[in-house]
Amino acid sequence: MPGSLTPEQEKLREEVRALCARFPDAYWRELDRERAYPEAFIRAMTEAGYLAALIPREYGGLGLGVTEASVILEEIHRSGGNAAACHAQLYIMGALLRHGSEEQKRRWLPPIARGELRLQAFSVTEAEAGSDTTAITTTATRDGESWVVNGHKSWTSRIEQSDLLLLLARTSPRDPADRTRGLSLFLVDLREARRAGTIEPRPVRTMLNYATYQVTYRNLRLPADALIGDEGQGFRAIIDGWNAERILLAAEAIGDGYWFVERASEYARKRVVFGRPIGANQGVQFPLARAYAAVSAADLMRYQAARLYDAGQPCGAEANMAKLLASEASWQAANICLDVHGGYGFVADYDVERKFRETRLFQVAPVSNNLVLSYVATRVLGLPRSY
Ligand SMILES: Cc1cc2nc3c(=O)[nH]c(=O)nc-3n(C[C@H](O)[C@H](O)[C@H](O)COP(=O)(O)OP(=O)(O)OC[C@H]3O[C@@H](n4cnc5c(N)ncnc54)[C@H](O)[C@@H]3O)c2cc1C
């Protein structure tokens, strides 16, 4: 909970905070302007071992839990940065850890932990299927000892910045009786794919600095041992990672939420209009206090979810609610922060408009809040499913 982290977790927070302080607002602002990838930041995070936080020590990682991973991501956002460039290695590691064979883990995890290989890309969403992941049509067909992949993904972030990618593809036709079957998960060595010319990424410019792409797979040939887990069970494997993903994303939104409240409070203390600091007006104070309360409440839910996750307990309800509450609280704080800055909130040099654009994403991706609400309604409250 806020204020009740262990001394080791507090130390980790301080260390990440110190690293982030080397990458000030101007660094992120310039990247935003250029829509560039934060290479220097990613290198520093990798060298510090943080991107291997969830890799067990026996494979060279830090062997930490989701609680610690969430603290790392929160600090990046709280410092004014953005973890989008590196968070996938934490989000998607669970699929490899839980469903990869011992041979696959021994082969891939140590070089990832050493920073020699990046596993930063996750290729799932397709234009026609959208949130209905079980409707994807990209296929992987068995051909002797290989798989041959064909299809198109409408979103695959960081494919150009990554060496490895997790791909969800259909290995047998959709079964209306069990829509979750027939999809399989593959670890793609992008270096091979680039050499063979079988992937074609196309950058997509979005409202925030996000290295995201459409990608076409044309006869991408994968070795048999690229399959992670059992054939046809790939959807289950990614669902297993969803709770961790939601907790980590909540922590990023909470980091943003605190950033907005802190920035706005600092500004409201200093900015004098009508002969007094604007923060002396209750019309400015109250929305800020309300936003802070919302962020703090979401933070409690995030730690509750993380604690359950790390204890191996069911945490679907808490993880989903943490994602919902945190994304809404950060957006509430973003709006107040913009209001408090008046016209300056729209000026790039103040960084508020950049963070404002960035934090809006949490309500939509990697999963929309409607689907999160649907989970709570159907799985927690027992209401009938609408789809
Ligand atoms: C910057 C960015 C980066 C991304 N990176 C990746 C990536 O690396 N890999 C990847 O696989 N994907 C990625 N995505 C895709 C992202 O996961 C999807 O955008 C998201 O899952 C929503 O899917 P969609 O955009 O197709 O929306 P849709 O599914 O078309 O939904 C549109 C709207 O309809 C609502 N809706 C749909 N069905 C229902 C329902 N039954 N009940 C109520 N409301 C409903 C949704 O909540 C949403 O508000 C990225 C997206 C963005 C914006």
pLDDT tens digit string along 244-302? 999 999 999 999 999 999 999 999 999 999 999 999 999 999 999 999 999 999 999 99
Maximum pairwise Cα distance, the chain: 79
Question: Which CATH fold would you assign to the domain 236-380?
Answer: Butyryl-CoA Dehydrogenase, subunit A; domain 3 (1.20.140)
362 touches ligand 1 (CB under 6 Å):
no
Each domain of the chain, given as residue ranges in start order, spans 7-113, 119-231, 236-380
- The 3-class secondary structure across the chain, one letter per residue, is CCCCCCHHHHHHHHHHHHHHHCCCHHHHHHHHHHCCCCHHHHHHHHHCCHHHCCCCHHHCCCCCCHHHHHHHHHHHHHCCCCHHHCCHHHHCHHHHHHHCCHHHHHHHHHHHHCCCCCEEEEECCCCCCCCCHHHCCCEEEEECCEEEEEEEECCCCCHHHCCEEEEEEECCCCCCCCCCCCEEEEEEEHHHHHHHCCEEEEEECCCCCCCEEEEEEEEEEEEHHHEECCCCEHHHHHHHHHHHHHHHHHHHHHHHHHHHHHHHHHHHHHCEECCEEHHHCHHHHHHHHHHHHHHHHHHHHHHHHHHHHHCCCCCHHHHHHHHHHHHHHHHHHHHHHHHHCHHHHHCHHHCHHHHHHHHHHHHCCCCCHHHHHHHHHHHHCCCCCCC
Nearest CA to ligand 1 atom 7: 156
- Beta bridge mates, 47: none
What pLDDT was estimated at residue 4?
84
Q: State the pLDDT confidence band at 45, using cuts at 50, 70 and 90.
A: very high
Q: State the pLDDT confidence band at 104, using cuts at 50, 70 and 90.
A: very high
The domain at 7-113 falls in which architecture? Orthogonal Bundle (1.10)
Q: What is the mean pLDDT of residues 23-29?
A: 98
201 touches ligand 1 (CB under 6 Å):
no
What pLDDT was estimated at residue 94?
86
Please, is 55 exposed, middle or buried when counting C-beta atoms within 10 Å of its C-beta (0-12, 13-18, 19+)?
buried
* Residue to substitute in 35, 125, 136, 179 for testing ligand 1 pocket (most ligand atoms within 8 angstroms of CB): 125
Q: Could you identify the atom of ligand 1 that is nearest to the CA of residue 129?
A: 26
More confident residue, 386 or 331: 331
Q: State the pLDDT confidence band at 174, using cuts at 50, 70 and 90.
A: very high
Q: What is the mean pLDDT of residues 13-42?
A: 98
Q: What is the mean pLDDT of residues 327-352?
A: 98
What pLDDT was estimated at residue 189?
98
The pLDDT of residue 376 is above 90: yes
Q: Could you identify the atom of ligand 1 that is nearest to the CA of residue 366?
A: 17
331 touches ligand 1 (CB under 6 Å):
no
pLDDT in tens, 350-374: 999 999 999 999 999 999 999 999 9
What pLDDT was estimated at residue 3?
59
Give Cα separations from 315 to 21, 94, 147, 246, 247 (angstroms).
Answer: 33, 15, 35, 11, 10
What pLDDT was estimated at residue 92?
86
**Do you find a cis peptide bond into 24, omega within 30 degrees of 0?**
no
Do 241 and 316 touch, CB atoms closer than 8 A? no
What pLDDT was estimated at residue 2?
61
Query: For residues 201-230, b (16+ Cβ closer than 10 Å) or e, as one string?
Result: beeeeeebbbbbbbbebeebebeeebbbbe
The pLDDT of residue 79 is above 80: yes
The pLDDT of residue 1 is above 80: no
The pLDDT of residue 47 is above 60: yes
Cα–Cα distance measured from residue 228 to residue 233, given in angstroms and rounded to the nearest whole number: 9
- CATH for 119-231 is 2.40.110.10
124 touches ligand 1 (CB under 6 Å):
yes
pTM: 0.97
What pLDDT was estimated at residue 91?
82
What does the mean pLDDT of the chain come to? 96
Q: Could you identify the atom of ligand 1 that is nearest to the CA of residue 168?
A: 11
The pLDDT of residue 44 is above 80: yes
Q: What is the mean pLDDT of residues 4-23?
A: 97
Instruction: Tell how far the Cα of 253 is from the centroid of ligand 1, in angstroms.
Output: 18
